Amino acid sequence: MKKAFVTWITGQDGSYLVELLLSKWYEVHWIKRRSSSFNTSRIDHLFEEKDFTIHYWDLSDSTNLIKLISEIKPDEIYNLAAQSHVAVSFDMPEYTADTVWIGTLRLLEAIKVAWIEKTCKFYQASTSELFWGLEYNRPEAWYTEESPMHPRSPYWCAKLYAMWITRNYKESYNMFACNGILFNHESPNRWETFVTRKITMAVAKISLWLQEKLYLWNLDAKRDWGHAKDYVEAMYLMLQQDEPKDYVISTWVTNTVRDFVNWSFEEVWIELEWKWKWEDEKWYNKANWECLVEVDSRYFRPAEVDFLLWDSTKARKELWWTPKYTVREMCKEMVAYDIQIFKKQEILKNHGYEILEQYEI
Ligand code: NAP
Ligand code: F7E
């Protein structure tokens, strides 16, 4: 039985990856950081699994990491942990660098210290938005694994280092270490601080009369959104190859935040009409002219990636990977899921249970 070490399954990808690995009969060592509140809702259903062990670690803690890696001696490590919110990285650049960048170095060093660099395969969660810049005004230009990089936030700068240190350890120590350059991927397990889930949760609440308005910033930003379930499969496939290689994972379809808002409202049969004056854009419910969506400068980012389109030919040819979900199917699933959650919460509230309010970033 293979042993996998997955850093952070309280996150979106970790929760799906662990389900996949357990279905393939892995012994999974799941790593979590200490939290005063419960944040394991995404994986609570796995607690009964016998091949599933939880350890405590934080990306800033080398000592415990070396101890864990030396004791477990995993066959595969998936490094998913990160301060992964781009806007927050402008407020907390040092913390972001310490966890995303040095945290990855700590893991690679721990593999060496534990003397498993020849047997352990390492996956680094790299990211798509390393490549803004060069062909910014040429939207027809598609990026590949070889395109020059131009990160646009402290988060992406830290991820760029993490990507190169992974490549460096592969070359220097002949390790099986690779980067998955993944485009945005979403799901009902996405945290609500990212734009898709923020939208689907707000739309669900608005349709149930639990929220009045949704506030957003850059509605014209274009993203290639895939489903996290498809993307964790690509992570797994990368570590099953004979050679370590970096792969771009994307769906090849790009859409605006505005499109995602429209599709989400369509799921609850609300048709929107938008009006704008300079940056003061507002969207109204065509049925009663209530304002449902507004632009809010609180979500402004000092630098933005407005457009990206990626070429994932290499992954499709070599990993035989293709996404199963379309973005519209995913949007439908997310809205339906959120409606169900809020309906359940309302029933519980009506029976006297206290429900913690969601917050937004
Ligand atoms: P996520 O939901 O934000 O999960 C990140 C996890 O990292 C969380 O469980 C978080 O723990 C943990 N974490 C944060 N700071 C930590 C620290 N100091 N020590 C230990 N753990 C810490 O992210 P995701 O969407 O699943 O993405 C997984 C990885 O892929 C991340 O590295 C992300 O940067 C990268 N990525 C994501 C996308 C995407 O579109 N989803 C695309 C490209 C790359 P808590 O739950 O305790 O906060
Ligand atoms: O923003 C715009 C925002 O925060 C998408 C992370 O998983 O993917 C993610 O990073 C777009 C941006 O994702 C709001 O300005 C408008 O243009 O959902 P997001 P992201 O920044 O692309 C990459 C690949 C990662 O690696 C990251 O870890 O939507 N936008 N209004 C907004 N975004 C947010 N969050 N909130 C808004 O109100």
285-327 tens-digit pLDDT? 999 999 999 999 888 899 888 777 778 999 999 999 999 999 9
Ligand 2: distance of its center to the CA of 62 in Å? 30
SS3 content of the chain, % helix, strand, coil (to 5): 40, 20, 40
Radius of gyration of the chain (CA): 21
Smallest CA separation from ligand 2 atom 3, residue: 218
Ligand 2: distance of its center to the CA of 33 in Å? 24
Catalytic residues: 127, 129, 155
pLDDT at position 141 is 56
218 by Cβ neighbours in 10 Å (0-12 / 13-18 / 19+) ranks as middle
pLDDT at position 196 is 98
Please state, as a whole number, how many other Cβ atoms lie within 10 Å of the Cβ of residue 66. Answer: 17
Please list, residue by residue across 130-147, b when 16 or more beta carbons sit within 10 angstroms of its beta carbon and e when fewer do.
bbbeebeeeeeebbebeb
- Work out which ligand 1 atom sits closest to the CA atom of 183: 42
Phi then psi dihedrals of residue 154, to 5 deg:
-55, -35
List of the chain residues with pLDDT < 50: 133-137, 358-361
- Work out which ligand 1 atom sits closest to the CA atom of 13: 26
Q: Look up the CATH number of domain 3-187+225-249.
A: 3.40.50.720
Alpha carbon distances (Å) from 195 to 98, 190, 219, 223, 294 = 25, 10, 10, 11, 14
pLDDT, tens digit, for every residue of 13-25? 998 999 999 999 9
pLDDT at position 360 is 35
Contact indicator for 85, 158 with CB cutoff of 8 Å: no
Ligand 2: distance of its center to the CA of 314 in Å? 26
Pick the CATH number of 195-222+255-306+327-350 from 3.40.190.10, 3.90.25.10, 3.30.310.10, 3.40.50.10680: 3.90.25.10
Sequence ranges of the domains in the chain:
3-187+225-249, 195-222+255-306+327-350
256 lines ligand 2 (CB under 6 A): no
For the entire predicted model, the pTM comes to: 0.93
Enumerate residues 6+ apart whose C-beta is below 8 A from 230.
185, 321, 323, 324, 325
- Work out which ligand 2 atom sits closest to the CA atom of 218: 16
Smallest-distance ligand from the CA of 185: 1
Kindly give the interhelix angle for 103-113 and 154-173, rounded to the nearest 10 degrees.
Answer: 20
C-alpha to C-alpha distance for 221 and 360, rounded to whole angstroms? 19
Ligand 2: distance of its center to the CA of 265 in Å? 19
pLDDT at position 35 is 77
Closest CA relative to residue 17, chosen from 175, 233, 163: 233
207 lines ligand 1 (CB under 6 A): no
216 lines ligand 2 (CB under 6 A): yes
Smallest CA separation from ligand 2 atom 34, residue: 195
In this structure, what token pair is assigned to residue 15? Answer: 């929760």
90 lines ligand 2 (CB under 6 A): no
| Spacing of C-alpha 359 from chain mean position | 18
